[in-house]
């Protein structure tokens, strides 16, 4: 549970924004001309994809910081962020798949962005598995930091190479030329949802870090008691 004042404010703010975002996504935003109601999944698909990338970026940054400063605080942020990123990446894949079924008639297409997201998901899944297989705290921090950094760099190259390979996912709709663009109400809703998901990310990150600290304390007490 959030304890400090800043945490409480963040928690309440996220909660309020979530309610507003739900209203905007389901009631305020107009029905899309060709896709009908289905397009509303956009308001959950795009923000979760964005936050997943943000989370993995944070993991990479904190992994570098850990290797430089050798302070376990950074490792705690890196691993918590990766876990949240993995969750949001899963949501991205699921919502995207549902949307694809209704739009393209198939659950999955081996297109650049989809494939990159899937590989991203696999990379951080292996990151999470690696952490699970190491018992010593400092060793876990060092090894997973290395994977965290390599994984993030790799994503950029994966995207480049797969894009050469094939592409089906719609090109960026916002700012993609004169023809493209969302209706103002939709754009506002989308941006609001992105903002809300970003807030949600920080709320989750904070509580995950607190949780990890608490679990480390419990481990410490276990050790002390075992020695006595």
Q: Residues interacting with other proteins, by CB under 8 A?
A: 67, 119, 122-123, 126, 129-130, 133-136, 138-139, 142-143, 145-147, 149-151, 153-154, 157-158, 160-162, 164-165
Smaller CB separation from other proteins, 119 or 173: 119
The C-alpha atoms of residue 152 and residue 203 are separated, in whole angstroms, by 23
Looking at the chain, list the stretches that DSSP marks H as alpha helix, in order from N- to C-terminal side.
Answer: 5-23, 42-69, 72-103, 112-132, 137-165, 184-227
For residue 39, the SS3 value is helix
The C-alpha atoms of residue 120 and residue 86 are separated, in whole angstroms, by 9
Smaller CB separation from other proteins, 47 or 148: 148
Q: Write down the least CB distance from residue 130 to other proteins, Å.
A: 7
Q: Write down the least CB distance from residue 65 to other proteins, Å.
A: 13
Q: Write down the least CB distance from residue 70 to other proteins, Å.
A: 9
Smaller CB separation from other proteins, 84 or 149: 149
Q: Is the dihedral of CA 66, 70, 76, 79 positive or negative?
A: positive
Smaller CB separation from other proteins, 4 or 168: 168
């Amino acid at each position: 549970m959030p304890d400090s004042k800043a945490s409480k404010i963040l928690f309440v703010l996220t909660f309020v924004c979530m309610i507003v975002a739900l209203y905007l996504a389901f009631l305020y935003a107009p029905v899309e001309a060709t896709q009908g109601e289905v397009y509303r999944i956009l308001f959950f698909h795009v923000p979760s994809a964005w936050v997943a990338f943000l989370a993995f970026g944070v993991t990479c940054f904190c992994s570098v910081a850990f290797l430089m400063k050798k302070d376990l605080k950074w490792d705690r942020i890196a691993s918590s962020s990766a876990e949240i990123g993995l969750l949001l990446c899963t949501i991205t894949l699921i919502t995207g798949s549902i949307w694809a079924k209704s739009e393209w008639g198939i659950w999955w297409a081996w297109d650049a962005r989809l494939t990159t997201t899937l590989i991203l998901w696999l990379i951080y899944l292996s990151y999470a598995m690696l952490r699970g297989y190491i018992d010593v705290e400092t060793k876990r921090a060092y090894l997973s930091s290395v994977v965290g950094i390599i994984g993030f760099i790799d994503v950029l190259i994966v995207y480049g190479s797969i894009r050469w390979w094939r592409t089906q996912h719609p090109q960026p709709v916002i700012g993609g030329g004169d023809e493209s663009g969302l209706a103002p109400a939709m754009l506002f809703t989308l941006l609001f949802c992105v903002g809300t998901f970003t807030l949600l990310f920080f709320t989750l990150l904070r509580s995950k870090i607190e949780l990890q600290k608490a679990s480390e304390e419990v481990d410490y007490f276990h050790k002390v008691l075992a020695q006595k």
